[in-house]
Chains A and B, each alone.
Chain A
Amino acid sequence: MAGSDSPVVLGIESSCDETGAGLVRDGVLLGHAVASSMDEHARFGGVVPEIASRAHVHAMGPVVRQALAEAGLRLADVGAVAVTTGPGLSGALQVGVAAAKSYAYTLGVPLYGVHHLAGHVAADTLEHGPLPDPCMVLIVSGGHTSLLLVRDLARDPIIHLGDTLDDAAGECFDKVARVLGLPYPGGPAIDRAAREGDPDAIRFPRPLTGPRDDRYAFSFSGLKTAAARWAEAHNGGSLHVADAAASLQEAVADVLTRKAVTACRDHDVKTLVVVGGVAANSRVRALAQERCAAAGIELRVPPLKLCTDNGAMIAAVGDLLVRAGAQPARLDVSIDPSAPLEHATLHPVAAPAAPRVA
């Protein structure tokens, strides 16, 4: 396969509070840009969907132009467009999909709908090259906590081994950060506070790690409550934020890495890829490294800037789909805010409304 024959793929991401555009060809990241409305959500303690959607409208054009400028390319150089069609916030997804359709249509190039989580999986290929077949992927972010068995990302079905039954790991960090008086987003704040703390100070529970629990399922709601109870009980002056942050982080990192390594062993998989915003957590990274080394598993974690939501990862999936000869999406492709990850492509169809009675 001649490298220069592959088209430049423009990837667009708008499923939550980040507007991203990225350009990839033949597995190589050519340029990308991300705008975030995170600051506008901070005082609400979480992402406000309507604020995110409005911000996407303003950021979309500039982000695409910035990515092109970084790559030294023009729109006319784009040979395919990939876009997140789900899961995510409905109004936010609609903005990215409308933009992607318009670019694909005006440029006369194919459009591919991409599952957001497949994007997170593909992010690592931009830094460390193609994924081995098979590999285990742990996706941990503010919205997702999933264990996936991935073969050929562009061609094979993705096997969903386990998910969180309630809150995502990042959500747990956000909520507990609030209880501890730390800023939003909670993940980085807890990571910073934990540096001065003792991870063994409080023995927080390790949810779903008992012998009869689902080996690959996660639950962080109870852990969140346990941390809140502890904080309330110690709020009379003995509340040691650093110890609480370190202990919580330890519990989360312990459960995540323990289950991920178990999944690798059970399925005889030699590579673990940890992706998503929580992959940026220093303790999750360190403990994953330690346990993978002990188990003889290669650990791959994308660089920080590719861990959080971005358009480059969507372009990376698009690039794989183009090269695998996947079927493009139609112009009436819809979105699916709660799509389970079954394939890298996601081409939802929306049913027509009932005819209006005059």
Chain B
Amino acid sequence: MLLLAFDTATPAITAAVHDGTAVVAESTVVDARRHGELLLPSVDKVLAEAGASLSDVTGVVVGVGPGPYTGLRVGLVTAAAFGDALGVPVHGLCTLDGLAHAAGASGTVGEGPFVVATDARRKEVYWARYEGPGRRVTDPAVDRPADIAERVAGLPAVGAGAALYPEVFTDVRPPADQSAGALASLAAQRLATGGEFLPALPLYLRRPDAQVPAGYKAVLPK
């Protein structure tokens, strides 16, 4: 088994290769406005570091968000084209689950409750609540931090989105950024246990900002 994983749903452009047992190569660059430019070079780098060729890849793992749309789409479109061209399955995972898994693996959270929050811009966060790193107990949501203050009060919080609002998330813990290595490890675990994946489609959680024009604005003075 050789998994190629990447995630572009946060400011990080992260890619990794996982051989079914361990992460064999990983690259993470934080540059919130260059996902489209940096993803393929990162993929190329981790494949080279792993000494793997594309024909060795048995599956693609991709973070499906939630996340800022333009970057998010780059990852999903790339995953779909890779799956298509290589003839391998594309496994979608919630981006927040990747961060939760990384926090669990590094021991910054235990089996108790915690939240993961990433920056949703517009003064909002994408977030979800967990009971232990492998068990998400709420659907991913997008909210203003002040509106969820009671629900996250006192809980450890993982992710760069939490660090932006210290008045709401009072116990911020690492990691701040998504890691494709963690995402790949989580996928390998799920594949081994027959766990489920998400379709490789973007989780936007918001409708497009579009208003039906209110009516015709006259050009002649009244």
Interface residues of A (CB under 8 A from B): 43-45, 48, 50-51, 53-54, 56-58, 60-61, 64-65, 75, 90-91, 94-95, 97-99, 101-103, 105-108, 178-179, 225, 228-229, 232-233, 331-335, 350, 352-353, 356
Contacts and interface: CB of A to CB of B under 8 A. Distances in A.
Contacts of A228: 218-219
Question: Considering the complex of A and B, which 6 residue pairs feature the smallest CB-CB distances, nearest first?
Answer: A102-B81, A106-B85, A50-B208, A48-B210, A98-B77, A331-B40
Interface in B19-41: 30-34, 36-41
A86 to B, nearest CB: 12
B86 interface: yes
Interface string B206-222: 00111111001011100
B85 A75 contact: yes
Nearest to B30: A356
26 contacts: A44-B210, A48-B210, A50-B208, A51-B208, A51-B210, A54-B73, A60-B80, A64-B84, A65-B84, A90-B70, A91-B69, A97-B36, A98-B36, A98-B74, A98-B78, A98-B81, A99-B78, A99-B81, A102-B77, A103-B81, A106-B54, A178-B216, A332-B38, A332-B40, A353-B34, A356-B30
Contact of B212 (A44, A58, A102, A106): A44
**Which residue, of B43, B74, B77, has the highest number of chain A Cβ atoms within 10 A?**
B77
Contacts, number: 118
Contacts of A97: 36
B31 A352 contact: yes
A57 B76 contact: yes
A319 to B, nearest CB: 21
Contacts of A95: 73-74, 77
A105 B73 contact: no
B78 A102 contact: yes
B37 A50 contact: no
Question: Dominant SS at the A interface?
Answer: helix
Q: Which of the listed residues A45, A48, A331, A333 has the most CB atoms from chain B within 10 Å of its own CB?
A: A331
B98 interface: no
A350 B34 contact: yes
Nearest to B80: A61
A33 B217 CA distance: 38
Contacts of B76: 57
Contact of B220 (A45, A65, A229): A229
Contact of B73 (A48, A91, A103, A179): A91
B204 interface: yes
Interface in B60-119: 69-70, 73-74, 76-78, 80-82, 84-86
Nearest to B202: A57
Given A53-B73, A54-B204, A350-B34, 9 more contacts: A48-B208, A61-B80, A99-B80, A102-B81, A179-B216, A229-B219, A332-B37, A334-B36, A353-B34
Contact of B82 (A51, A106, A331, A353): A106
Contacts of B70: 53, 90-91, 94
Residue of A57, A98, A331 most packed against chain B (CB within 10 A): A98
B39 A98 contact: yes
A331 B41 contact: yes
A53 B73 CA distance: 8
Nearest to B47: A105
B44 interface: yes
Contact of A106 (B69, B81, B216): B81
B44 to A, nearest CB: 6
Nearest to B206: A50
B164 to A, nearest CB: 12
B208 A54 contact: yes
Contacts of B43: 105
Identify the interface centre among B31, B36, B210, B211: most chain A CB within 10 Å of its CB: B36
B219 A61 contact: no
Contacts of B32: 353
Contacts of B211: 44
A350 B37 contact: yes
B15 to A, nearest CB: 12
Contact of B44 (A229, A331, A333): A331
Contacts of B86: 106
B34 A105 contact: no
B210 A102 contact: no
A91 B69 CA distance: 8
A64 B77 CA distance: 12
Residue from B33, B37, B70, B78 whose CB has the most chain A CB atoms within 10 Å:
B37
Nearest to A331: B40
Nearest to B33: A353
A106 B39 CA distance: 13
A203 to B, nearest CB: 18
B84 A75 contact: yes
